[in-house]
């Protein structure tokens, strides 16, 4: 697999990271299935969700694979009254990434990123490297630095 834009950005920043590849199965794109495929617990593998707030527009939420996004908590944290997932058909145009391959690093525009505070429980977490079949492991602190992410409690387990 070739290096993605997200991997090039991380490398250019001098951030230590590891890429893990896995076989892509169109029927099994869920984050818990990706976690199993790369041999990590779902609490350590983070999925990136694309949402639109009524006041701020597009935001990214990065939460554990086995968690559900708390829309009210994210709306509050992001300064919105209401926030909703964007339709899948809009994800590529907004981020440059397809569903199942959205990385919080290297999106078309620098959207606000909200990282669930549980990321801080781990030395390294996994996020999409920007394509299906490839995950990137890096420290939560490095992810925060690279994306200017705000850490907050936005997931319900």
Q: What is the pLDDT of residues 102-150, one digit of tens each?
A: 999 999 999 999 999 999 999 999 999 999 999 999 999 999 999 999 8
Would you say the pTM of this structure is higher than 0.85?
A: yes
The pLDDT value given to residue 76: 95
Token look-up 């505070």 returns 117
Answer for the pair 126, 63: CB distance below 8 angstroms, yes or no.
no
The pLDDT value given to residue 28: 66
Q: How far apart, in Å, are the Cα atoms of 39 and each of 13, 45, 54, 92?
A: 27, 10, 38, 27
The pLDDT value given to residue 157: 59
Domains of the chain from N-terminus onward: 5-156 (3.90.960.10)
d(CA 116, CA 12): 25
Please provide the average confidence, as pLDDT, over all residues in the chain. 93
DSSP 8-state secondary structure symbol assigned to residue 100: T
What is residue 2's three-state secondary structure? Answer: coil
The pLDDT value given to residue 81: 97
Answer for the pair 62, 146: CB distance below 8 angstroms, yes or no.
no
Token look-up 């809009």 returns 90
The pLDDT value given to residue 155: 87
């Amino acid at each position: 697999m070739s290096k993605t834009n997200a991997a090039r950005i991380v490398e250019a920043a001098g951030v230590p990271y590891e890429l893990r590849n896995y076989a892509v199965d169109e029927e099994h794109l869920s984050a818990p299935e990706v976690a199993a495929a790369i041999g990590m617990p779902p609490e350590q593998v983070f999925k990136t969700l694309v949402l639109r707030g009524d006041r701020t527009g597009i935001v990214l939420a990065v939460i554990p694979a086995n968690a559900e996004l708390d829309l009210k908590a994210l709306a509050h944290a992001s300064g919105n009254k209401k926030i909703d997932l964007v339709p899948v058909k809009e994800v590529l145009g907004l981020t440059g990434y397809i569903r199942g391959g959205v990385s919080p690093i290297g999106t078309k525009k620098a959207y606000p990123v909200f990282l669930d505070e549980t990321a801080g429980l781990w030395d390294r977490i996994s996020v999409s490297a920007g394509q299906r079949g490839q995950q990137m492991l890096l420290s939560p602190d490095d992810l925060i630095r690279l994306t200017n992410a705000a850490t907050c409690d936005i997931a319900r387990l």
